[in-house]
A = this chain, B = another copy of it.
C-alpha cells in the first residue's frame, strides 16, 4: 500500500523532510499538468512549444528519478515485496514509461505528451480517502448499478418506441435513446435530445424523479459507509497517540476506548501559539509528541510528551491563564469542552485526579518560591501541566 511507503519515508527522514518532499512532488505534478494543458492550446503552443516541452521533460525526469531511488536495492526492507509490484510502484511506472515508449514508436509529440495525464494517478497515493471510497463502492456497487441499468434501459426502450417516428436522428436507435436516458437520469440535461410526445415527456418526467431517488440512494449508502470507515480510521490513529500519554495509558480500558473516540489529534509546527492568555478556554490538550512552553512568570516551563495542559479553564469555566507555544514540531490531542464534561461525568476518578493536579498547579502559579517551581516543573513533565 502507498501509505506504508510514505510512512517509511517519515521514519527515514523525519516528518518535516517527508512533508517537504510531498509538497515538492505535488508542485512538480501541478506544473507538469499545467504545461500539458497549455500544449493543447494552439495559440500558446505556437509561441512557447520549446519551453513547455522542456518543462514536461523535467517533470518526467523528476518522476523517473523518484522511481529509480525507490527501487534501488536496499531501499526495501527484507520481507516486503519489491516496490515495482506494489500499487504505488505500478502507478509510478505508468507515469514514467508510456511517454518515451510512445515517442520511440513514432507517436507525434503532441499526442505522446497527453499521456502525462496519467501523472494524475499519483494523486491517489496522496489521498487516504481512496481506499475508503473503493471499499464502500465495492460493497454496494451491485444494487446501485442494477437500479441504474434497469431504469436506463427501460426508459431508453420506451422513448425509442415513442419518439423514433418524430425524431429519428435523436431517438432512432437504442444507443441514441440510451444517451438521452443517461443525460436525463443523472439530471445533466444537455437538451440535445428532448422528447416531444406527451407520453415520452411523461416517462421523461418519471425518469428525472427516479434520478432524484437514485441520487438519494447513492448518497445515503456512501454517507453511511463513509461515516463507518472514518470512525474506524480515526479510532486507530487516536489509539496510537493515546497510548503514548502515560497519564491516559493507566485508565481502565473502557475509559481509554471512550477517550480515544473523543480526542482529535492536531499537528503543529514549532513556535505555534496553542492557547493565548485571556481567551476563553474551549478545550484541553494532551501532548503525544513534541514539546510546548508555558509562558508563566518568572520563567517559562517546558512540557514534553505525556503532559497535559489547558484543563484549568475548563474546570473553572474561566479564561486561559497563560499563553502556550510549541517549541518543536508537536502532535497534541485536543479534548473539546463538550467531550471533557461528558468524560468527567462518567469517569469521576479521572475527574478527581485532574482536579487535584489543577489545584496543586494553581497554588504554584499564584505563589511559591522559584526553586519549588523548578522542582514541580520536573514533576509535571510526567504528570502534565496546565498551560493557562
Contact = CB atoms under 8 A, between A and B. Distances in A.
B149 A346 contact: no
Contact of A208 (B133, B186, B198, B336): B186
A357 to B, nearest CB: 19
Contacts of A226: 217, 220-221, 224
Nearest to A260: B341
B212 A186 contact: yes
Contacts of A187: 186-189
A56 to B, nearest CB: 13
A215 B223 contact: no
A126 B146 contact: yes
Number of copies: 4
A167 interface: no
A153 to B, nearest CB: 6
Interface string A147-187: 11110011001001100000000001111011100111011
B253 A345 contact: yes
Contacts of A277: 79
Contact of A254 (B39, B282, B345): B345
Contact of A149 (B123, B149, B157): B123
Given A161-B114, A191-B192, A222 B230 contact: no
A77 to B, nearest CB: 9
A65 B349 CA distance: 54
A49 interface: no
Interface string A105-137: 000000100100100110110111110010001
A198 B214 CA distance: 25
A31 interface: no
B219 A157 contact: no
Contacts of A148: 209
Interface of A: 33, 36-37, 39-42, 79-80, 111, 114, 117, 120-121, 123-124, 126-130, 133, 137, 140, 142-143, 146-150, 153-154, 157, 160-161, 172-175, 177-179, 182-184, 186-192, 194, 198, 201, 204-205, 208-209, 211-227, 230-232, 235-236, 239, 252-254, 256-257, 277-278, 282, 336-339, 341-342, 344-346, 348
Nearest to A186: B208
A179 B150 CA distance: 24
Given A120-B154, A123-B149, A216-B219, 14 more contacts: A36-B174, A37-B174, A41-B175, A111-B161, A127-B143, A182-B209, A190-B191, A191-B192, A213-B222, A215-B215, A215-B219, A235-B341, A239-B341, A253-B344
B224 A220 contact: yes
Given A42-B173, A189-B191, A194-B190, A213 B137 contact: yes
Given A114-B157, A120-B150, A211 B188 contact: yes
Contacts of A257: 341-342, 345-346
10 contacts: A41-B173, A42-B172, A114-B161, A121-B150, A127-B146, A182-B209, A188-B211, A213-B222, A221-B226, A257-B345
Given A209-B148, A223-B224, A232-B338, A37 B175 contact: yes
3 pairs of A and B residues whose beta carbons are closest in the complex? A220-B223, A129-B143, A253-B345
Contacts of A223: 216, 219-221, 223-224
A222 B232 contact: no
Nearest to A336: B232
A247 B23 CA distance: 50
Given A157-B117, A188-B189, A341-B239, A222 B222 contact: no
A194 B192 contact: yes
